[in-house]
Structure 1
Amino acid sequence: MNCLTSLFVQTRQPVMILQRGLKKKSKIPVMLLKSIPRVGAAGAVIRVSRGHMRNDLYPKRLAVYASIKEGTVERANTAQKEAALPTKKHAEARRDVHLLAVNNQAIIDQVASLEPLVFERKVVVSSEPSAEGTAQTIYGSLTKADVIKELADKHSIYIERDALSMNDKIKSVGEFKCVVKLIYAGQASFLAKVVPAKDK
């Protein structure tokens, strides 16, 4: 008799031959939270490998571990239903957006009814006589910051720098179009008029 047969006869149990490096290939039940092509629909309980669940499905919140003893399937279904209902945060966010839209619309209405803003600046005197039709240049420039400050001081209209659209720096006498664009309200334009300063 060979040694394997004698081992079987003595213990009356089948001989298990252990193979080195062989891992258990069991699959575990999971419940899908979202539909995945070629895998299953949302709410389905399927069996997947442990590594696939641990590395792909669970971190991406596509599936949860399902155990019938603990009622995971029922809890996951109720969690999905609760997630579908609007929460307090959603209601607050919706209210904030509505208030922002109303406020921005009021600002746009004020800007649309504005008279031209007048800015006095010193004019550069050149030694050569200027040709008719050329714009007179001014000392310094008229910037967005100047226009925003004027709107805030004289008209109580407070806007961000990004909301105002105009030439970067106005360096001559004349009328220039400025546009205010606000989210949820559209846009309105007004004129910024640069005039020579009166000598005192």
Structure 2
Amino acid sequence: MKVILKEDVKNIGQKNEVVEVADGHARNYLLPKGLAVKATDSQLSKLKQKKQARKRKKQQELNEAQKKADKLEDKVFEVSVKAGETGKLFGSVTTNDIADVIEDETGVKIDKRKVELDDNIKTLGTKKVTINLHKDVTAMVKIKVVEA
């Protein structure tokens, strides 16, 4: 019997996958537990529509990330902080600070977890920072740390 899995089922398949299983297994286990539905023409067409919608959504997310990257690429963002005489900061510039500065200057909202920083910036100067906007899209920006 052909069924469409509603959830991942060990040793059978992944969610939204059409699989062939024994009739007894489908009738006695998969269907009563709500793990699968019979693969009728209407169910298969619904599955196809879901896959197309998911594909469109992923493409739209990729396009939005690319637009954000184009806005941010090769820009210099200035962060003002208090520093000592040797150029060492009182505190540090974190990913949260960088995300806030980018949002203030460009209006592009970025999650602080998307900012790739080896360690918090603790000295004055300019540093290159990578921002992961999507799994396929990254943007390089420069963060210029100046004394306030």
What's the TM-score once normalised by structure 1's chain length? Answer: 0.53
Match of 2:107 in 1: 156
1:89 counterpart (50, 53, 56):
50
Distance 1:123 1:159 in 2: 26
Distance 2:122 2:22 in 1: 69
For residue 66 of structure 2, what is the amino acid of its counterpart? Answer: Q
Contact 1:178–1:192 (CA under 8 A) maintained in structure 2? yes
For residue 94 of structure 1, what is the amino acid of its counterpart? Answer: K
Post-superposition shift, 1:43? 8.6
Contact 1:166–1:177 (CA under 8 A) maintained in structure 2? no
Contact 2:74–2:142 (CA under 8 A) maintained in structure 1? no
Runs of 4+ in 1 over 6 A off after TM superposition: none
Cα RMSD (Å): 2.9
Higher-Rg member (1/2): 1
With a CA cutoff of 8 Å and minimum separation of 6, indicate the structure with the bigger relative contact order.
2
Post-superposition shift, 1:89? 3.2
Unaligned runs of 5+ in 1: 1-31, 35-41, 46-52, 62-75, 131-135
Contact 1:144–1:164 (CA under 8 A) maintained in structure 2? yes
Match of 1:117 in 2: 77
Post-superposition shift, 1:170? 1.2
Structure 2 CA distance for partners of 1:60 and 1:156, relative to 1, 3 Å: same
What's the TM-score once normalised by structure 2's chain length? Answer: 0.68
For residue 161 of structure 1, what is the amino acid of its counterpart? Answer: K
Match of 2:142 in 1: 191
Post-superposition shift, 1:60? 3.6
Post-superposition shift, 1:59? 1.8
SS of 2:142's equivalent? Answer: strand
1:165 counterpart (97, 105, 116):
116
Contact 1:144–1:168 (CA under 8 A) maintained in structure 2? no
Distance 1:162 1:194 in 2: 20
Structure showing the higher strand proportion among its residues: 2
Alignment of 1:10-89 (within 5 A): 32-33=1-2, 42=20, 53=24, 56-57=25-26, 58-60=28-30, 79-85=39-45, 86-89=47-50
Q: How many residues align?
A: 126
Structure 2 CA distance for partners of 1:193 and 1:83, relative to 1, 3 Å: same
Structure 2 CA distance for partners of 1:157 and 1:43, relative to 1, 3 Å: closer
Unaligned runs of 5+ in 2: 4-19, 32-37
Contact 1:144–1:161 (CA under 8 A) maintained in structure 2? yes
Structure 2 CA distance for partners of 1:43 and 1:162, relative to 1, 3 Å: closer
Fraction of identical pairs, as percent: 19
Contact 2:83–2:147 (CA under 8 A) maintained in structure 1? yes
Match of 1:143 in 2: 94
